[in-house]
Amino acid sequence: MADGRFDGKVAVITGGGRGFGKAFGHALARRGARAVLLDLDAAAAHAAADEIGAGAEGIAGDVADEAAMHKIMAGVAARHGGIDLLINNAGIHSAEANEFIGALGTARVRRMFDVNVWGVIHCTLGARPFMAGREGAAIVNIASMAAYGAQKAYGVTKLAVRGLTASFAHELAGDGIRVNAIAPGLILTDTIRAELPQAVVDRVTAMQIIPRAGEERDIVEAMLWLASPGAAFVTGETIRVSGGATLQV
């Protein structure tokens, strides 16, 4: 049900063509925001925007391309009067990518860093001038529970996202921009269902305190809170949404 929480807000969502990104777009548009879905896959971005409806638009772009991201952010701001929310969701993530650095090879690891780490930097710095001074301006990065322990290449990139979240929270505070992150645990998206054997799903679920599989809505709700005025006193944090897996004090 629409609640008007983000009426008039402009939200840029990277990796918006599918998965979490598309779900974020649905949720924000349903609550009054203009959802700009940015994705490397132009067809997916436009299809997702069509699915969401009048409150959305799709844009093609590679977050690893610094110049392109600055141009796209400027274009969004010119069309809509500024940017209020940035959801840095785009990333390379798959069972195949979750390997040790030597096993993946430097070329594949470099591309993963270009997207998962540099993509956050490019989009954040590209959007910053158009978010500065806007009431409620907020950035939400998508990290991962793989960042805790960070033994393999994917986890290392998400550990970097946690670090960037803290660093940008300090750097952008003077502009009135809050920066936080979400570290999802095992969330049964269509991709995860297709990739992970049931035995792995069962093993991870057994590590949790809440004995059920995570769902997209769990991450969507965390994003909506971090992006909202309800989290106005929260910045620099990475919130783990994992059913209590590997809980630490």
Nearest to 151 by CA among 88, 95, 93, 98: 98
Helices (H), 81-152: 101-104, 106-113, 119-131
**CA 142 – CA 158 distance, rounded (Å):** 8
**Residue where the block lists tokens 């505070």:** 173
37 and 61 Cβ atoms separated by less than 8 Å:
no
45 and 96 Cβ atoms separated by less than 8 Å:
no
Q: Which H/E stretch holds residue 25?
A: helix 19-30
Query: What is the DSSP code (8-state) at residue 97?
Result: T
| 154 part of the active site | yes
189 and 216 Cβ atoms separated by less than 8 Å:
yes
Q: Is 41 helix (H, G, I), strand (E, B) or coil?
A: coil
Of 20, 118, 130, 154, the active-site residue reads 154
- Strands 10-14 and 85-88 come out as parallel
Q: How many CB atoms lie within 10 A of CB 194?
A: 9
Q: Which H/E stretch holds residue 156?
A: helix 153-171
Active-site amino acid positions: 154
